[in-house]
């Protein structure tokens, strides 16, 4: 896992010195933990965290309630992050297998996960973890105005540090009636609006309230969502009723997802922006072997230094990055994952069929992305001669 120095310093600064990374023990690699029997089952099993995001009123709570009351074999704990007036608490509900509901209030310093993510987020989860054994899945609902990238980064880093939890996926609920309005709203400061960020980062997009939208509006919304995020799965629902297998256990951030990523990436196309400076998906493929050090520099220039510019001279801004690459000395495909300033390279279980099959396919979701520039830069600076 790689993060910019600044980000690390910021994260450390957010935590009081004596509480830095409480109860977390560094491990060498995730693979090591799996070999130690801390895989998907057993007493040492890590608990998945699914982030549920979506704009105000899209149907997040409806989705949570649906998941909690549906038949499944999981004991799910929920963390709700309320931004409400004077709310300085975070409410955690846990539902046992037989549907019995109990409630616990976790006191947080300011009740807002988004403001001081590092601190409060981990504290809440750690409190929950003391109940380990009582639940085996965590759903975290962000507020409608949250940037899920910040929340996701926190859990992603935490998993790497040997925590008992791992980030499983990001689910974004979109309102079919007002979604297009939310996605196309321009912010006065020129920043990417929250609704778009939530869609850009999602592994699963739930297009909810389809009963309220006209077919032609729905079509435009589908196309806009697809152009923003060409990778995420889109499901259409009413009252957030979805097949739970599509929501839980996505493993979107681990090497296992590399197995399904290849097929998914074949279907991704580079999109035309629906607005100037809007978020789009861009993808390219370049055959050959990549050099690991050069690949790191390429990604860091994009995510950390932000020095890569489009032909029009605009700074490219990447929100999400996924790819499968061929590194010279690695027999298996390597998955590249990036969220904001964090990224990771990890070998998947999938080996290359032959030397001639070795290739690099990358998908970027972000703003001002210029496919030709990215592809050219990759081919000339990352590939071995
Ligand atoms: N007609 C219709 N109403 C829905 C549907 N899904 C949810 N609702 C209603 O829409 C309203 C908002 O749903 P919530 O689940 O509270 O939305 P939310 O995203 O949690 O809202 P915030 O927490 O305020 O951001 C509620 O009154 C729901 O009953 C749907 O598919 N169709």
Helices (DSSP H) in the chain: which residue ranges? 5-14, 30-35, 60-69, 122-129, 148-160, 179-184, 194-200, 215-228, 257-266, 292-300, 371-381
pLDDT band, very low/low/confident/very high, at 161 (cuts 50, 70, 90): low
Higher pLDDT, 108 or 219: 219
Length of the chain measured in residues: 385
Mean pLDDT value across residues 327-334: 92
Locate tokens 């980064």: which residue?
153
Q: What is the ipTM of this complex?
A: 0.98
Long-range contacts at 127-135 (CB < 8 A, ≥ 24 apart): 127/92, 128/77, 128/79, 128/92, 129/47, 129/164, 129/165, 131/77, 131/94, 132/47, 132/164, 134/75, 134/77, 134/94, 134/96, 135/47, 135/74, 135/75, 135/76, 135/77, 135/94
Q: Residue 78 C-alpha to ligand 1 middle, in angstroms?
A: 18
Asked if residue 383 has pLDDT above 90, the reply is yes
Asked if residue 75 has pLDDT above 90, the reply is no
**End-to-end alpha carbon distance in the chain:** 27
pLDDT value at residue 314: 92
Q: Residue 228 C-alpha to ligand 1 middle, in angstroms?
A: 23
> Are 254 and 246 in contact, with CB atoms under 8 Å apart?
no
pLDDT value at residue 99: 39
Our measurement of the distance from residue 357's CA atom to the centroid of its chain's CA atoms, rounded to an integer in Å, reads 29
Asked if residue 242 has pLDDT above 90, the reply is yes
Higher pLDDT, 133 or 169: 169
Using a 6 Å cutoff on CB, does residue 84 contact ligand 1? no
Asked if residue 273 has pLDDT above 80, the reply is no
Mean pLDDT value across residues 305-313: 93
**Of ligand 1's atoms, which has the minimum distance to the CA of residue 62?**
15
pLDDT value at residue 125: 66
Q: Which of the residue ranges 6-15, 96-105, 234-243, 250-259 would you say has the lowest mean pLDDT?
A: 96-105
Higher pLDDT, 39 or 129: 129
Asked if residue 306 has pLDDT above 70, the reply is yes
Q: Residue 56 C-alpha to ligand 1 middle, in angstroms?
A: 9
Residue nearest to ligand 1 atom 27, measured at CA: 57
Higher pLDDT, 202 or 45: 202
Asked if residue 339 has pLDDT above 50, the reply is yes
Locate tokens 């008992």: which residue?
164
pLDDT value at residue 235: 97
Q: Which of the residue ranges 84-88, 154-158, 376-380 would you say has the lowest mean pLDDT?
A: 84-88
Q: Residue 277 C-alpha to ligand 1 middle, in angstroms?
A: 30
Mean pLDDT value across residues 167-182: 95
Q: Residue 94 C-alpha to ligand 1 middle, in angstroms?
A: 21
Higher pLDDT, 72 or 329: 329
Higher pLDDT, 301 or 108: 301
- Choose among 258, 210, 199: nearest CA to 233: 199
Mean pLDDT value across residues 330-354: 91
Instruction: Give the predicted TM-score (pTM) of the model.
Output: 0.80
Out of 135-139, 246-250, 296-300, the most confident range is 296-300
Locate tokens 């846990």: which residue?
94
Percentage with pLDDT > 90 across the chain = 45
Using a 6 Å cutoff on CB, does residue 57 contact ligand 1? yes
* pLDDT one-digit tens code per residue, 24-53: 222 233 333 333 333 444 445 788 889 999
pLDDT value at residue 132: 58
Mean pLDDT value across residues 346-373: 91
Higher pLDDT, 115 or 120: 120
Higher pLDDT, 268 or 93: 268
Asked if residue 263 has pLDDT above 80, the reply is no
Residue nearest to ligand 1 atom 6, measured at CA: 239
Q: Which of the residue ranges 15-24, 35-44, 171-180 would you say has the lowest mean pLDDT?
A: 15-24
pLDDT value at residue 274: 57
pLDDT band, very low/low/confident/very high, at 127 (cuts 50, 70, 90): low
Using a 6 Å cutoff on CB, does residue 144 contact ligand 1? yes
């Amino acid at each position: 896992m790689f993060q910019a120095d600044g980000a690390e310093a910021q994260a450390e600064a957010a935590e009081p010195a004596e509480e830095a990374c409480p109860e977390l023990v560094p491990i060498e690699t995730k693979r090591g933990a799996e070999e130690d029997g801390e895989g998907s089952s057993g007493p040492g099993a890590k608990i998945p965290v699914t982030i549920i995001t979506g704009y105000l009123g899209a149907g997040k709570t409806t989705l949570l309630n649906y998941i909690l009351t549906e038949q499944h074999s999981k004991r799910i704990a929920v963390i709700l992050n309320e931004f409400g007036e004077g709310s300085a608490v975070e409410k955690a509900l846990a539902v046992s297998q037989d549907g019995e509901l109990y409630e616990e209030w976790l006191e947080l310093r300011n009740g807002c996960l988004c403001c001081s993510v590092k601190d409060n987020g981990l504290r809440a989860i750690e409190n929950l973890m003391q109940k380990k054994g009582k639940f085996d899945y965590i759903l975290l609902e962000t507020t409608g105005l949250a940037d899920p990238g910040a929340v996701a980064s926190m859990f992603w880093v935490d998993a790497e540090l040997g925590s008992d939890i791992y980030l499983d996926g990001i689910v974004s609920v979109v309102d079919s009636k007002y979604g297009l309005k939310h996605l196309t709203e321009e912010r006065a400061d020129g920043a990417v609006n929250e609704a778009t960020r939530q869609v850009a980062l999602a592994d699963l997009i739930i297009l909810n309230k389809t009963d309220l939208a006209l077919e032609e509006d729905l079509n435009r919304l589908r196309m806009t969502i697809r152009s923003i995020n060409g990778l995420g799965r889109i499901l259409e629902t009413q009252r957030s009723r979805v097949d739970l297998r599509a929501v839980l256990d996505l493993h979107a951030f681990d090497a296992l997802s590399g197995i399904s990523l290849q097929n998914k990436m074949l279907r991704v196309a580079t999109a035309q922006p629906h607005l100037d400076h809007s978020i789009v998906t861009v993808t390219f493929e370049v055959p050959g072997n990549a050099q690991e050090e050069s690949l790191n520099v390429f990604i860091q220039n994009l995510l950390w230094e932000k020095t890569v510019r489009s032909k029009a001279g605009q700074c490219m801004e990447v929100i999400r990055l996924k790819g499968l690459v061929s590194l010279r000395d690695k027999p298996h495909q390597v998955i590249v994952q990036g969220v904001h300033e964090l990224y990771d390279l990890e070998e998947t279980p999938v080996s290359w069929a032959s030397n001639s099959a070795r290739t690099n396919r990358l998908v970027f979701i972000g703003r001002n992305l210029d496919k030709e520039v990215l592809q050219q830069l990759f081919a000339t600076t990352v590939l071995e001669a």
